[in-house]
Each structure stands twice: as C-alpha cells, then as structure tokens.
C-alpha cells in the first residue's frame, strides 16, 4: 500500500470515532512549544498532551525563527497562551552540517541555521522570545534526550 493510501486509511479510522470537533481554538493548558521536526520526537507523548492542550510549533532544530516567532506572537497575543517552552533534542541533524557545505551542494544562499552547541541554541531561542513583543509570562528551555526520553532543563 502506498504511503498516501496508508495515511488516508488511518485518517478514516481516526475520523470514524472523532468526538473533539467542539474544542475551543485557544489552547486549554495555555502554553506553546517550539520543538524540532525530527520524526523521533512526539511532543504529545513526551509532554502528556491531548488535542486542544497546547500550540506545538515544529521546525528543523526547534529554533525560534522569524516564522516561529510569528506563530508565538499570535499564540500569546490573540489566543491567550501564557508560557513558552523551547525544546531541542540530542542527536539533532542540525549539529551535523555547515551552511557552506549545503549551500554549495544545492547552489543556494539560504541560511539553514545550523548550530554546533545544542544548549547555546536553546538559550538563544529562549532569549529571542524574551526580547520579542510576545511578553510571555514564562519562557523555558529544555533538551529532550532521544536516548532516554527525558527532558533536561537548560540553564
């Protein structure tokens, strides 16, 4: 079976028992998460989330980029979130390359935002939220350890 067909079949099974169509738009637990798109991470599972609990923003590296910041501003200022969690992870692919090598390979000058220090990357993203117009009540930085499934707070 092709992936497309598998996805449509899984969605049909999900939709057949779906009962959460009346959830409110604002996240019920009033927080947002910025984390990596890595397929090994399931934020709903490792954070104990259900539909409607939180906004989860994912991108390569779990970085607070301009687009992630845009989403956080909407989350906070229009939908009432009060806390932001930035969660990177060990064994991240963003640690494995430089802009120069990928830009040369692809013939582009797009900044892919790789980093060489995981904790420093989290600190920079947390700082970016703190310096933004979001004015979240609290901003937290963590590293998810893919080896153990545990979160480690970044000071």
> How far are the Cα atoms of 32, 50, 59, 149 from residue 54, in angstroms, in the given order?
5, 8, 16, 20
Say what the pTM is. 0.94
- pLDDT at residue 137, rounded to an integer: 77
Using left for φ > 0, alpha for ψ between -120 and 50, and beta otherwise, residue 113 falls in: left
Q: What is the 3-state secondary structure (H, E, C) of 12-35?
A: HHHHHCCCCCCCCCCCCCCEEEEE
With contact defined as beta carbons under 8 Å apart, do 86 and 64 qualify? Answer: yes
- pLDDT at residue 133, rounded to an integer: 83
> How far are the Cα atoms of 63, 71, 109, 152 from residue 131, in angstroms, in the given order?
15, 15, 27, 23
**What structural domains does the chain harbor?**
28-153 (3.40.1050.10)
What does pLDDT average to in each consecutive run of 10 residues of the chain (155 residues)? 95 97 97 98 98 98 97 95 97 97 95 97 96 85 98 96
From first CA to last CA, the distance across the chain in angstroms is 47
Spatial distance between the Cα atoms of 31 and 72, rounded to a whole number of angstroms? 10
């Amino acid at each position: 079976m092709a992936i497309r067909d598998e996805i449509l079949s899984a969605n049909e099974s999900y939709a057949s028992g779906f009962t959460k169509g009346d959830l409110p738009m604002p996240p019920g637990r009033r927080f947002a998460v910025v984390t990596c798109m890595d397929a090994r991470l399931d934020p709903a599972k490792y954070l104990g989330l259900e539909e409607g609990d939180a906004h989860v923003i994912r991108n390569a590296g779990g970085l607070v980029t301009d687009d992630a910041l845009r989403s956080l501003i909407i989350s906070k200022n229009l939908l009432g979130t009060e806390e932001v969690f930035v969660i990177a992870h060990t064994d991240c692919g963003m640690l494995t390359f430089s802009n120069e090598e990928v830009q040369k390979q692809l013939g582009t000058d797009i900044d892919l935002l790789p980093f060489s220090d995981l904790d420093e990357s989290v600190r920079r993203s947390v700082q970016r939220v703190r310096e933004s117009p979001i004015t979240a009540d609290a901003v937290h930085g963590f590293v998810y350890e893919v080896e153990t499934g545990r979160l480690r707070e970044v000071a």
